[in-house]
């Protein structure tokens, strides 16, 4: 083991004396590393999370905050803030991404929507930031900087730049018009766990923010790894409205308007993801998420083509960007 891992294990043994060996878990997009350890038949997760790079303080305090408000997140049992060591409740190995299939998808998605509604029902927390016009445009511009320029090496001409900027404005306006609620910010299948008791667990909540009410919903419904039909999207929108009303949350029952909100929250998110996944590859040398670029771009092309003000943007992506991406990905498997 590396020295840091030795130190993590030594610290963990000071918290739980009778501790078995560490088992490294799946690769993360972040710099964090997770390990499973066992003690007297009970398992725990150890986190090695650089305090200079990761939002450790937020993870710790938001865990307590969300548990208090009945959101199913893992409890932080102990931590060493200076070194970035954490001992965390273990939610098991069943990631929604690996568990979902055509026979159980409806049940799993409804469990997930219930957690979104629980998030939207929690008490106000002034320590949590809110997405604003500056932050959402900065996030979308990652698409240009890292995806178009640094990864695809495309030259963006002045007219194309205008089309992209117009798209940013249109998406930002619709994004900011929506009702504001608490958002997980990355509520996708790889961050959801199916616990042993059949309930759901939510991971990676350190980026909590106040944002549009459909942001977490579109992260789930238009998950990169599990695209679904328009008919299914309509079903889950109806379920969201019904469950929200049951929880006392006022949501529009106009499904056309709700679907439009979902589309524009999705466009902002998907442009951000194109940028962050390209940056993960170019800057951080982590390429395991490159195949996700293909479906993310498809979402942006198809959704933007539904709206008159974004059709030129859709065409630009389809004619110039999509072929360049396909060439770059080459033989990389989906």
Same structural domain, 114 and 234: yes
Same structural domain, 72 and 116: no
CATH of the domain at 102: 3.90.1200.10
Residue 144, φ and ψ in degrees, nearest 5 = -70, -50
Task: Quickly state the pLDDT bin for 2 (edges 50, 70, 90).
Answer: low
Same structural domain, 79 and 105: no
DSSP E strand stretches across the chain: 23-24, 33-39, 42-48, 76-80, 85-89, 180-183, 192-194, 200-202, 209-212
Q: What angle, rounded to 10 degrees, do the helices at 230-246 and 255-282 form? A: 110
Task: Look at the pTM and tell me if it is higher than 0.75.
Answer: yes
pLDDT tens profile 117-148: 999 999 999 999 999 999 999 999 999 999 99
pLDDT tens profile 167-220: 999 999 999 999 999 999 999 999 999 999 999 999 999 999 999 999 999 999
Question: Considering its fold, how many domains does the chain have in total?
Answer: 2
Same structural domain, 78 and 120: no
Using DSSP's 3-state secondary structure scheme, residue 46 falls into strand
- 241 is a domain residue: yes
Q: How far apart are CA 236 and CA 69, in angstroms?
A: 24
Burial 323-334 (b: 16+ CB within 10 A, else e): eebeeeeeeeee
- 334 is a domain residue: no
Same structural domain, 183 and 284: yes
Same structural domain, 101 and 78: no
Q: How far apart are CA 183 and CA 68, in angstroms?
A: 16
Return the closest-CA partner of residue 26 out of 197, 191, 206. 191
Which of 12-21, 296-305, 313-322 is predicted with the least confidence, judged by mean pLDDT? 12-21
Same structural domain, 323 and 269: yes
Matching residue, tokens 């150890």: 46
Domain of 15, in residue numbers: 3-89
Q: What is the pLDDT averaged over residues 104-111?
A: 97
Cα–Cα distance list, 85 to 64, 72, 320 (Å): 17, 22, 45
pLDDT (0 to 100) of residue 28: 74
For the chain, give the percent of residues with pLDDT over 70.
98
Same structural domain, 73 and 101: no
Using DSSP's 3-state secondary structure scheme, residue 98 falls into helix
- 224 is a domain residue: yes
Residue 77, φ and ψ in degrees, nearest 5 = -80, -35
Same structural domain, 175 and 258: yes
Task: Quickly state the pLDDT bin for 334 (edges 50, 70, 90).
Answer: low
Same structural domain, 102 and 248: yes
Same structural domain, 205 and 323: yes
- Long-range contacts (CB closer than 8 Å, 24 or more residues apart) made by 150-155: 150/278, 150/279, 150/282, 151/278, 151/281, 151/282, 151/328, 152/278, 152/321, 152/324, 152/325, 152/328, 154/320, 154/321, 154/324
Domain ends where: 40, 69, 89?
89
CATH of the domain at 44: 3.30.200.20
Query: Could you tell me the sign of the dihedral formed by the alpha carbons of 256, 100, 226, 287, in that order?
Result: positive
């Amino acid at each position: 083991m590396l020295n840091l891992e030795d130190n993590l294990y030594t610290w963990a043994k000071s918290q739980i004396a009778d501790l078995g060996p560490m088992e490294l878990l799946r690769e993360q997009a972040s710099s964090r590393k997770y390990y499973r350890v066992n003690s007297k038949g009970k398992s725990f997760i150890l986190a090695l999370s650089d305090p200079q790079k990761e939002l450790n303080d937020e993870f710790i305090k938001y865990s307590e905050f969300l548990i208090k408000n009945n959101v199913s997140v893992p409890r932080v049992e102990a931590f060493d803030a200076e070194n970035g060591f954490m001992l965390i409740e273990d939610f098991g190995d069943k990631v929604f991404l690996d568990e979902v299939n055509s026979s159980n998808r409806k049940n799993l998605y409804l469990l997930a929507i219930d957690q979104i509604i629980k998030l939207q029902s929690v008490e106000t927390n002034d320590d949590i930031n809110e997405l604003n016009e500056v932050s959402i445009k900065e996030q979308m511009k990652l698409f240009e900087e890292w995806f178009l320029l640094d990864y695809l090496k495309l030259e963006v001409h002045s007219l194309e730049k205008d089309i992209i900027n117009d798209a940013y404005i249109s998406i930002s306006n619709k994004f900011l018009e929506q009702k504001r609620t608490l958002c997980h910010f990355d509520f996708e299948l790889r961050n959801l766990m199916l616990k042993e008791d059949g309930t759901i667990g939510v991971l990676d909540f350190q980026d909590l923010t106040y944002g549009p009410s459909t942001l977490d919903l579109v992260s789930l419904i238009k998950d990169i790894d599990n695209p679904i039909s328009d008919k299914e999207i309509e079903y889950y929108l109806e379920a969201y409205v019904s469950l929200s009303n049951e929880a006392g949350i006022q949501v529009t029952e106009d499904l056309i308007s709700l679907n439009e909100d979902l589309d524009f929250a999705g466009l902002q998110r998907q442009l951000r993801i194109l940028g962050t996944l390209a940056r993960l590859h170019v800057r951080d040398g982590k390429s395991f998420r490159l195949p996700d670029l293909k479906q993310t771009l498809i979402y942006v092309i198809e959704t933007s083509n539904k709206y008159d003000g974004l059709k030129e943007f859709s065409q630009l992506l389809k004619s110039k960007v999509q072929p360049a991406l396909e060439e770059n990905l080459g033989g990389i498997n989906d």
